[in-house]
Structure 1
Amino acid sequence: MQRKWTRIAEEALKIRKTIEFISNEELKKISQNILINEKNIPLEYQIGVVSEAIRRFTGYIPYKNQIIGAQVLKENMIAEMATGEGKTITAVIGLYLHVVSGHRVMLFTQNDYLAKRDYDFSKDIFSLLGVKTELIKSNESKNGKLDEKINDRQKRYNVSIVYTTNEVFGFEYLLSNLVSDGKEKLEFHFDTAIVDEIDSILLDDAQNPLIISGNPKTQSNYFNITHEFVSLLDENIDFEINSSQSSIWLLRSGIKKAEIFFRTDKLFSFSNFELVKHILISLRVEYLMQKGEDYIVVGDSVKLIDNVSGRVLEGSLFEDGIQQAIETKENVSISRENRSMASVTFQHLFRKFKNLSGMTGTAYLNRNEFINVYNLKVIRVKRNRTLIRDDLSDQYHITLQDKMYAIKNRVENLIGLGRSVLLITESIDSAEIYSKLFWLEGIKHSVLTASQNMLEAEIIKQAGKKGAVTIATVIAGRGTDIKIDHDVEIAGGLAVIITEHFKLRRIDLQVMGRSGRQGENGTTEFHVSLEDKIFQEYPFKYLEKIKNKHKNITKLDKFYFYISIKRAQSKNKEKDYLERFNNLQMDETLHVQRELVYDKRNQIIQRKDVSLNEFKTIIIKIALETFQNIDDTEQFVMDYIDDHLTREYYDEKIIEQMIIQRIDNIKQLVAKNPEVFDKIVNQLILKAIDTEWVLHVDRMQKLRLIINKRSFVQLNPLQEYQRVGQILFEKYQKNVKMNLLMGVMRTRFEKNDNLRLIFPY
């Protein structure tokens, strides 16, 4: 396949040269002919045309490897291309080839800055080729009004190529499935998606759900008392931690103490569902979640940190009560706990596309997962120029202090040689510690740990200047190349120093890829100490012996360092894969339920001319089915039919008459505007669905939290989640019917200029 792609690339570059001197108008006519007669036009000719358009607006003639990468995208695979190989141009060619094939394509990036940068880079190219493109950013609400009307936004989604971010698209998908009027709903094509830095989005962020929150819960009073309780427990006596699996559970002693502390006979009983949930949350927060790694405290608030990139995730909160538990632990103001109105993971969002492909510098190590989960094959595209970067041997140290001063000395040495230095740290806290050390030692530097934006990208661009020292978290500025000055290239290029090995080899390779782009000089080196996080999670016995020697590290010691790191990274890779795969299987239960509910909502908001008799029949059937299956008839009538009547007994005929009379009254109320009756019915049904769906999602999240191998010792967690999830969904469907009955019988109507519905729930 690669030989074929190489041959096509070579032919395309020859064709490009033959049309180099034709006018823009002629080139546009050729492109329009290609768009109409794609099946009759050779692929190499299509690529030649788009390559010439790229040259005219950017001055760049695509390299062979960029054209090969574009063909990988056209075949719905992942192109692994090293940092600096020009994935932006690869994407332009790949997008054009998909459009030529009749597809609507969306290019997803990690943030608004990159989306706008890539859109601005390509919009004139595609305009010349006769292809419409759009950039879609968040449709913010100001003073209750959206920046852009739905019709205008829909038109932008309907163009051939859309540049956006995974988060913007995900949230708009969720919001569009919450509207109550079909005119307010955006329609998404889910045709073709190209994902930039696909490993970051579909692996690292795969399990982070996008959540639309609302309807505040009644605030729990458990947070303070469960925090107090877990702080009294002793590890390995009352609870046990498996740090490699990020799991924690109570032992028999801890369960007994909980029963005494909370004055309950049986902790794991249904009546203690909320209590058990809060104990588990407090245990996790107290002993597994660390300030500076999982979150930071800014003033009186807790902010979430991306544990891969080290970025502060502005606007994001921990869910399921974890946010409030951390706030309790850190003694800051406790925020309101909201219910999840809608949620979706990137795994499920991107699996909805008919065609999916992507680009990254590090996908091959996870090729099996991409095949198993997304049916995506990973193709390694050769570099345009041979890599001459020198990856130096690891430097090993006994203590963290030894390592920090060794790094400081190394940085001073490199600056003295006229080179630029990029220091990559594992966390924000770590970056700040090195920054303080460097200031004390008089080493000027920049620090990048915040959310990526234009300023950060510009700083990354400047990181290749002579004598520049930049401290950054894992992927700060990812997507922006560091361009080194000529004198830095002569002195040896950019030096990347990594303060420790990361949990995954893939992340190691990402940060190493910062140096040596397009055949440039450069070096990479890792500095490792026995106090590094990777050894805390996987404490190997031989390393403890090395630590106790308090002497110089031998060759054999270095070998054990090396082997221990490889083993730890291998275990983490396997653990992460299994966790993502198991979560995907669990998520499938809620995903199927969500699709059923969304499909039902779509049918309702698109339906018109509701039959009065049909609606009466539905409501009567709901009421009579319920009436026949309850013991307390009077309570049923009080709750769902009419709480003003006080009869001692109701029969089916009376209930049926009451429903008919109620619906006829509603019809008479809007007799002059029959279409209003349709809207009322739709609102009543949607209100019933949405009210109960919010509660159902909340129940499913609670179920997910407590179902694990420790909670159900003899049961398979996945099977148990699916079994109980089905029971809860059946309960949801039943409750929707009951809420609809209540809505019909007890909703108040206020008629001023417009008809207003005041729901009873």
Structure 2
Amino acid sequence: MAVFQKLLRAGEGKKIRALESLVPEINAVEADYEQLSDDALRAKTGDFKLEIDRGADLNDILIDAFAVTREAARRVLGQRHYDVQLVGGAALHFGWVAEMRTGEGKTLVSTLPVYLNALSGKGVHIVTVNDYLATRDAEWMGRVHQFLGLEVGLVIPGQTDPEAKRKQYAADITYGTNNEFGFDYLRDNMAPAKNQQVQRGHNYCIVDEVDSILIDEARTPLIISGRLADAAKLYGQFAQIARTMSRDVDYEVEEDKRNVAVLEPGIEKVERALNIDNLYDQVSSNLVHQMSAALKAKELYRRDRDYVVQNGEVRIVDEFTGRILEGRRWSEGLHQAVEAKEGVNIKAENQTLATITLQNYFRLYEKLAGMTGTATTEAAEFGNTYGLDVVPVPTHRPVKRADHADLIYKTEASKIDAVVNDIEERRATGQPILVGTVSVENSEKISHALDQRGISHNVLNAKEHHREADIVTQAGRLGAVTVATNMAGRGVDIL
């Protein structure tokens, strides 16, 4: 125990050395577990739980638990944890962020601390960025845990039966997405009785792609809403009025503050259009809100950047991942204003019933850990906001990738032209190419430029999210060209 206490207080360099010192101990007992039958190996789970019941700490059984997990993975998946993966697993167990390069097998690494912490019986949550990865990992890595006698659950959108969902959370290990865990927490807080809640506490959580969830999306609010009275006619009226108003004449736009200020000529124009004397009197007070929402929808919310229109619906696009935020709607009438602007069916306005940010949700866990390929640059924020230390885990083999300096162009047109030229040149050699963009709009601009050159390619953005896994897995084929927003590639193996 004293060794582990020192490890927890060590600096980054000492942390790595201390974690690496555990590897020879795990390797030393590996042969003992290789000789056990499947039943005898599975029985170690009961032995470990008995030790915990008798007062043993999880740290006391780390060496043997990791060795058992490694042997189980070898038998079930045909994959044996490398020494550096043992280091990554230990870092996660101690509640740190393990920075592991792409392709280093983070998914397999997670089985080590997950198994160890699940032995406590208090539950372990593994959070991924989308439904596909949560389902894949529950089925794939779940086989290791089930082989060792542990129950594995899965929570994804679409599960409406509270009893079935309660069973998923009651499992030793539960896989799911960040949004679903958060929304279940909100629904539990709205439940009229404790026996109607589905979650059973927040013991230990491992967040995959931790920088995306805990940093990029940290302040994204999860909101459960209820319907207010319909005001569709007014939103339609104001959308028409907003089209007749001119920027810098009728109103001013503060892009940095995401605000629109109406000027006197604009107020007069609205009053004439609505045939009222004073837009700001008490009777018409809600009209000011409607006018503001209509102008914000016109100037600040752009199609194919902030949202897409699909099947007659306005669907929000996540600014960080490029994914469609299923079921999410802007509050305070903004969504209705955008619907009116686009001429689609205007749905009833919502009021907020319960809300929490991802940042505040993940702070509920007694122990929190994460893994990603890019964490060092965010180390200060991880430390200050979540009390998480970042530990860069060495690669299994030396990295061959060459990182070149950034190139800056005077215009967007010249940049896109240079990108297409580079793609054309590299594709001729058979090199597969992945083009990353920051928005749906930019991905489609590059796609259009590639079409003009006759270069076949795949596009992956919020409009094509249902094809994500298929497109990304084929992105490594000879001469393949894939244009994507940064939704792509999170945890998906490229062939």
With normalisation by structure 1, the TM-score equals 0.58
Structure 1 residues 213 and 434, CA gap change in structure 2 (3 angstroms): same
**Aligned ranges for residues 83-102 of structure 1 at < 5 Å?**
83-101=102-120
The CA distance in 2 between the partners of 1:266 and 1:458, in whole Å, is: 53
1:468 and 2:480 are equivalent in the alignment = yes
SS of 1:108 mapped into structure 2: strand
Residue matched to 1:624: none
Deviates more, 1:233-242 or 1:336-345: 233-242
The CA distance in 2 between the partners of 1:252 and 1:215, in whole Å, is: 34
**Amino acid of the structure 1 residue aligned with 2:126:** L
Residue matched to 1:405: 417
Q: CA-to-partner distance for each residue in 1:198-217, whole Å, 9 max, x for gaps?
A: 22222333333333333342
Residue matched to 1:118: 137
Q: CA-to-partner distance for each residue in 1:2-49, whole Å, 9 max, x for gaps?
A: 211011123213322442232112212233222321527453222222
Q: CA-to-partner distance for each residue in 1:699-739, whole Å, 9 max, x for gaps?
A: xxxxxxxxxxxxxxxxxxxxxxxxxxxxxxxxxxxxxxxxx
Q: Which has the larger radius of gyration?
A: 1
Residue matched to 1:369: 381
1:445 and 2:457 are equivalent in the alignment = yes
Higher helix share: 1
**Amino acid of the structure 2 residue aligned with 1:75:** F
Kept in 2, the 8 Å contact 1:198–1:360? The answer is yes
Residue matched to 1:35: 49
The CA distance in 2 between the partners of 1:49 and 1:223, in whole Å, is: 62
**Aligned ranges for residues 193-212 of structure 1 at < 5 Å?**
193-212=205-224
The CA distance in 2 between the partners of 1:261 and 1:26, in whole Å, is: 81
Structure 1 residues 374 and 258, CA gap change in structure 2 (3 angstroms): farther
Residue matched to 1:633: none
Shift of 1:406: 2.3
Identity fraction in percent? 33
**Alignment size in residue pairs:** 475
Structure 1 residues 72 and 278, CA gap change in structure 2 (3 angstroms): farther
What is the Cα-based RMSD across aligned positions, in Å?
Answer: 2.9
Higher relative contact order (CA 8 A, sep 6+): 2
The CA distance in 2 between the partners of 1:441 and 1:293, in whole Å, is: 25
Structure 1 residues 280 and 114, CA gap change in structure 2 (3 angstroms): same
Kept in 1, the 8 Å contact 2:129–2:490? The answer is no
Shift of 1:102: 5.1
Kept in 1, the 8 Å contact 2:279–2:288? The answer is no
Shift of 1:421: 0.9
Deviates more, 1:19-28 or 1:132-141: 132-141
Residue matched to 2:167: 155
The CA distance in 2 between the partners of 1:95 and 1:453, in whole Å, is: 29
Q: CA-to-partner distance for each residue in 1:544-588, whole Å, 9 max, x for gaps?
A: xxxxxxxxxxxxxxxxxxxxxxxxxxxxxxxxxxxxxxxxxxxxx
Q: CA-to-partner distance for each residue in 1:311-358, whole Å, 9 max, x for gaps?
A: 233433222211111122222232222333333322222222222221
**Amino acid of the structure 2 residue aligned with 1:46:** A
Residue matched to 1:380: 392
Kept in 1, the 8 Å contact 2:211–2:375? The answer is yes
The CA distance in 1 between the partners of 2:212 and 2:102, in whole Å, is: 14
Q: CA-to-partner distance for each residue in 1:248-271, whole Å, 9 max, x for gaps?
A: 43467766877787756684x776
Kept in 2, the 8 Å contact 1:313–1:451? The answer is no
Shift of 1:79: 1.7
Structure 1 residues 245 and 382, CA gap change in structure 2 (3 angstroms): farther
The CA distance in 1 between the partners of 2:358 and 2:408, in whole Å, is: 38
Structure 1: tracts of 5 or more residues without a match: 484-761
Structure 1 residues 69 and 270, CA gap change in structure 2 (3 angstroms): farther
1:23 and 2:17 are equivalent in the alignment = no
Structure 1 residues 140 and 378, CA gap change in structure 2 (3 angstroms): same
1:457 and 2:476 are equivalent in the alignment = no
Kept in 2, the 8 Å contact 1:111–1:452? The answer is no
Residue matched to 2:81: 62
SS of 1:60 mapped into structure 2: coil
Q: CA-to-partner distance for each residue in 1:214-261, whole Å, 9 max, x for gaps?
A: 334232654244445544555455544343443443467766877787
1:282 and 2:301 are equivalent in the alignment = no
Shift of 1:461: 1.7
1:133 and 2:152 are equivalent in the alignment = yes
The CA distance in 2 between the partners of 1:17 and 1:249, in whole Å, is: 72
**Amino acid of the structure 2 residue aligned with 1:88:** T
SS of 1:395 mapped into structure 2: coil
SS of 2:302 mapped into structure 1: coil
Q: CA-to-partner distance for each residue in 1:409-441, whole Å, 9 max, x for gaps?
A: 211211111211111222222222322332332
The CA distance in 2 between the partners of 1:319 and 1:45, in whole Å, is: 51
Residue matched to 1:188: 200
Structure 1 residues 247 and 374, CA gap change in structure 2 (3 angstroms): farther
1:172 and 2:191 are equivalent in the alignment = no
**Amino acid of the structure 1 residue aligned with 2:48:** I
Deviates more, 1:168-177 or 1:78-87: 168-177
The CA distance in 2 between the partners of 1:48 and 1:353, in whole Å, is: 27
The CA distance in 2 between the partners of 1:155 and 1:64, in whole Å, is: 35
Residue matched to 2:28: 14
Shift of 1:139: 5.0
Structure 1 residues 271 and 78, CA gap change in structure 2 (3 angstroms): farther
Kept in 1, the 8 Å contact 2:153–2:167? The answer is no
The CA distance in 2 between the partners of 1:126 and 1:428, in whole Å, is: 39
Structure 1 residues 266 and 286, CA gap change in structure 2 (3 angstroms): closer
Residue matched to 2:441: 429
Residue matched to 2:308: 296
Structure 2: tracts of 5 or more residues without a match: 1-14
With normalisation by structure 2, the TM-score equals 0.86
Structure 1 residues 282 and 364, CA gap change in structure 2 (3 angstroms): farther
Kept in 2, the 8 Å contact 1:449–1:472? The answer is yes
**Aligned ranges for residues 246-395 of structure 1 at < 5 Å?**
246-250=258-262, 267=280, 273-395=285-407
Structure 1 residues 370 and 462, CA gap change in structure 2 (3 angstroms): same
